[in-house]
Amino acid sequence: MNIYVELNKIIEYIENNLEEKIDYKDLAKMIGVNEYTFQRIFSLICNISISEYIRNRRLSNAGQELYLKDEKVVDIAVKYQYGNSTAFSRAFEKFHGIKPSEVREHPDKLKMYTKLHFNEINESSKNVEYKIVEQEQMILYGKCKITNNENIGKDAPDFINQIKTQYGKQQYGLVEYTDKERMYVKSYWVLYNKNNKGLEKRIIPKSKWIVIRINSQDAKDIQNASKVFYEDFIPSCKYNFRDLPELEYYHDNITDFLIPIED
């Protein structure tokens, strides 16, 4: 399956239904995965969450309509699926930087957020080697560093070096996110099999996992392998994710990238 062809179909469906309630489950069915998996794929490939994309398209259209048409704010709010004009006005001002009532005075400040389109020729032929393992519940111990999307690239390696001086080389890495779409990083964990003074317990439930071996422990190599996995492997194989953390297991100068999947 060419994921870019399928995403273009999804984008067209969204475009034709901006004035209606859009069910993510319906979008997920279009590529044959569950809702959670779809949100993960969309956010990684598009670099924006599905909820934010739909919101941006609605607010972009709403701004144009308020300027070009003589319509009430409350009518536009209802049209684009806002429960009331207060919620709409708040979202509108956050997106455009002006209030709906100021559109005709400052049309130059309106933002245009155009619909996405993907080059369908970019179908990848990369081969992803993997295995499926069933892992019993894991009890790990570690420390976390609160961070965010902008700073994790620096915070994670700095934190790893800091922890290593006290507890030794990490065995596992884990990124925690603020939402299910995994767009916004919350913290980075350094984890070990054995407990030591000052470490926190993390319980990883029993699950099946896809394991991809990466012949490196470099962060960029791991990120590249992850991108190939989400773009090329998941849409073709139809595995569904579980809402559990992904793990990076470091050993023998390699990294095993573990992704939890449903039975």
53: domain CATH number is 1.10.10.60
- Residue 235 near residue 44, CB atoms below 8 Å: no
Q: Is residue 123 part of a domain?
A: no
Q: Is residue 74 part of a domain?
A: yes
Q: Is residue 126 part of a domain?
A: no
User: Are 77 and 146 found together in one domain?
Assistant: no
Nearest to 29 by CA among 19, 37, 17, 40: 37
- pLDDT of 1 > 70? The answer is no
Q: CA–CA separation, 92 vs 114, rounded Å?
A: 16
The pLDDT, as a whole number, for residue 187 is 94
Query: What range does the domain containing 137 cover?
Result: 131-261
- Residue 147 near residue 155, CB atoms below 8 Å: yes
What is the domain-level CATH number for residue 244? Answer: 3.20.80.10
User: Are 143 and 247 found together in one domain?
Assistant: yes
Please tell me the pTM assigned to this model: 0.77
User: Are 55 and 8 found together in one domain?
Assistant: yes
* 221-250 pLDDT tens trace: 887 787 777 666 766 666 788 888 889 999
- pLDDT of 121 > 90? The answer is no
Q: Is residue 200 part of a domain?
A: yes
Q: Is residue 141 part of a domain?
A: yes
- Residue 185 near residue 149, CB atoms below 8 Å: yes
- pLDDT of 128 > 70? The answer is no
Tokens of 248: 């990076």
The pLDDT, as a whole number, for residue 237 is 67
- Residue 78 near residue 20, CB atoms below 8 Å: no
Tell me how far CA of residue 172 lies from CA of 87, 128, 150, in angstroms: 42, 22, 22
Domain end position, chosen among 79, 109, 139? 109
User: Are 38 and 149 found together in one domain?
Assistant: no
Q: Is residue 139 part of a domain?
A: yes
Domain end position, chosen among 78, 109, 140? 109
Task: Please state the domain count of the chain.
Answer: 2
Tell me how far CA of residue 174 lies from CA of 48, 137, 156, 212, 250, in angstroms: 21, 16, 10, 15, 11
